[in-house]
């Protein structure tokens, strides 16, 4: 039997948030940084609108440049390539999601029991994935990098922390991987698009999985 990890404090303390995916150059001259940030935000806004209108597969660097009224070279300088652009869009929504579960209102944010937060976390991530599923699939990292993507590491660390509060004697790191696997975009696509399962069933299944995994005998 593995040694139990040290007990966690009763009040939840946020994990340190690692740096999210960085795209574009970080070597701009100081006097250009404000303009560069505004241009980047404008390009992301244009790309997001194109995703909504055409879907992720219909977004090209040329189309983003035209929508933002800039040269194509500007888009390439800011994001490197199309994958970098798609990841930047996900990075933007990931920051909002992290803010919700790290410091937002309960039960997703601090202030609720760990099991309730786990239920809320999975349901929120399922809904987010359903809203941007095509984009997530298009920007999915290769298998050798999939589990080291910074945003995914933050999510898994958060689930691990909540599990340690709920079931401190369990192998919470391994259980967190198992839970996160049930929230992968590939699986959500298969269940909703190919099997026709409604999102309500996936959310109920997530809550049932969390309850069973965190249940303890008397």
The burial class, CB within 10 Å (0-12 / 13-18 / 19+), for 155 is buried
Interval 65-81: pLDDT, tens: 999 988 889 899 888 88
Q: Which domains does the chain have, with CATH numbers?
A: 25-80 (1.10.10.60), 90-214 (1.10.357)
Query: In the chain, count of helices (H) and strands (E)?
Result: 10, 0
pLDDT for residue 151: 87
- Give the residue among 119, 120, 155 at the shortest CA–CA distance from 136: 155
**Confidence check: pLDDT of 12 > 80:** no
DSSP secondary structure code for residue 106 in this structure: T
Residues 117-160: tens digit of each pLDDT: 999 999 999 999 998 898 888 888 778 778 888 888 999 999 99
Residue 37 has a CB neighbour count (10 Å cut-off) of: 12
């Amino acid at each position: 039997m593995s040694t139990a990890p040290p007990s966690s404090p009763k009040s939840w303390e946020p994990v340190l948030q690692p740096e999210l995916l960085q795209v574009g150059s970080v070597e701009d001259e100081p006097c250009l940084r404000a303009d560069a940030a505004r241009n980047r935000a404008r390009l992301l806004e244009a790309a997001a609108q194109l995703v909504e209108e055409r879907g992720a597969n219909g977004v090209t660097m040329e189309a983003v440049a035209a929508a933002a009224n800039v040269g194509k070279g500007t888009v390439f300088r800011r994001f490197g390539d199309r994958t970098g652009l798609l990841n930047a869009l996900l990075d933007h929504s990931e920051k909002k999601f992290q803010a919700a579960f790290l410091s937002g209102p309960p039960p997703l944010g601090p202030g609720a029991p760990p099991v309730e937060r786990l239920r809320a976390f999975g349901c929120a991530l399922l809904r987010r994935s359903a809203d941007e599923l095509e984009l997530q699939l298009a920007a999915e990292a290769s298998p050798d990098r999939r589990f080291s993507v910074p945003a995914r590491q933050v999510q898994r660390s958060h689930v691990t922390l909540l599990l340690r509060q709920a079931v401190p004697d369990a192998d919470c790191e391994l259980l967190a991987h198992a839970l996160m696997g049930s929230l992968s975009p590939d699986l959500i696509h298969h269940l909703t698009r190919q099997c026709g399962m409604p999102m309500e069933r996936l959310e109920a299944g997530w809550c049932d999985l969390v309850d069973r995994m965190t249940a303890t005998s008397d």
